[in-house]
Structure 1
Amino acid sequence: MATSPETKKRLVTAALLAPASLWLFVFLVLPFIAIVVFAFGERAPEGGYQPSFTLEQFANLGARAAAFKNTLLLAPVGAFLCLVVAYPVAYYLAVKASPRYRLVLVSLVVVPFWTSLLVRVYAWMYILGARGIPHLLEMIGIENVRLLNTPGAVLLGIVYGYLPLMIMPIYVSLEKLDRRLLEASADLGAKPLSTFFGITLPLSLPGVMTGVALVTILLLGEYLIPQLLGGGKVFFIGNALVDLFLQSRNWPFGSAIAVTLVVVVVFILLIAMRIAWRFAGTRQVDLV
């Protein structure tokens, strides 16, 4: 029996999608299902998971309120600081920089990714530690300055580590900007500031929302930066998960926190997409 062209097209599409779909199902969907199952269980006497069905783990989320508070406060603040620093850089690269040097400048933005984040965070530990900036301040008479193991140190590490992830989506969005719109605005007598807020910023909003969503979502699961620059005093949800799964071996409680974190991430992503679509109108908005 002959196969119609439409059926062949669907079979080809299914064959192309099958490897990626299988990969996502095995390494993403199945582990998440296991985490959900663990979340409704109980901790075994020797640690780990004991089959049960209870909401006790979700009722005890308040025991890790400090981790949730630090994460839900510092993650958005860190993303906002990244945006404040990244937008002027992306604007210069996309609009002001000479095409001859643009590729070189963009390459410099991604150069930090060539080095391990662990090494770069350790460098900041030295800079902010007793032998770094506090020592220099002490030499000029400013004593008892503590920079390491503070929320400020964690925010500094966040901006340093995630800045390229904020710059690139904004740069891509600004690079697609039709320069004729800027010229028309200037010809009609609009001031540069009016042109920016009336044309440039709205048209770059999809890139802004992509960068904000990407950085915020990654920060919600951040472990390394608060662990090293926060010294265990600035606890994130990622630190709580490591403690619950590897130290206290309370898998059900850790799973409940992980499920809650996923719900928060999905909620933030939906809000970001709604905001982007509202301000960007019919223009395409890709957040994931």
Structure 2
Amino acid sequence: MDCAEARFLLSQSLDDELPAGSTEADAMERHLLACATCSTLRREFVAEQELLADLWAPVAAPAGFADRVTASLPRQAPRRRHQLALVAAMVLVVLAGSLLAQSGARASIGLFLRQVVLRETPAQTMPSQTTPMTRLTLAEAQKLVPWRIRQPSGLPDGYRLSEVYAGNIHSFAVGPTVVLHYQSGDGAAARSLEVMELQTAVKQRADEPVAPGAARQVPVGNGTGLLIDGRWGERDGRQVWEPGTMLRLIVEDGDLVFQLQADPKDGWNAEQLTGIAATLR
């Protein structure tokens, strides 16, 4: 078991989602005995949990509270999955290169490219917001950005570019972010792949965390990318990391950042995403 696998299981263990005595739990414990870094990480997380428990006593909602709140909410029409993906924030941290060289940089920052850094954290607070995106043609989107919009090749059979969106949704980007939506099939059987493209402003910073063990560095062509398994969601009124719900790959080309995201339930895996990302040149 490597550190990435152990940290993912550690996150599950701290959330009481890893059965004690299970094969995975035993393998994690063996890894923690042999790995000083992961063992230290567990002690830090346990200490944080104990501190939070001391500061905030458990609060129980009144009986029927959730039902009353749900009943008061306006009904909304179902949205297609790719529309939900368009309002999901990219889980990345864009930092100036000089920050990485400073001694004050957080020790938890360990997964990074030249422009992009991911910070591991056991939990986060997610703001509720909608990102404004405008549907355009590819030619219209190209006129909005000074760089050449990259289109991937080697997509699975049946996938086609169906929609293009652009919008100023990232404060750390120079100009709009462009989203290319590729789709295979229609209706409930539709499968999709989103490719987000943006140009970074080096002096800007966006700090968004990922769960421990959810991200790892992977080879992409002759370079390196950051692969993220899962995304933040809400469960019982708290934010939790949901592995297996989304697969994302972040790659760079100079000051351009590309993120490919897809649903593993559509048959996507890391090998497919890295192969397609290597064509974005």
TM superposition score normalised by structure 1: 0.21
Work out which of the two has the higher radius of gyration on C-alpha atoms and give 1 or 2.
1
TM superposition score normalised by structure 2: 0.21
Higher normalized helix content (fraction of residues): 1
Larger RCO (CA under 8 A, 6+ residues apart): 1
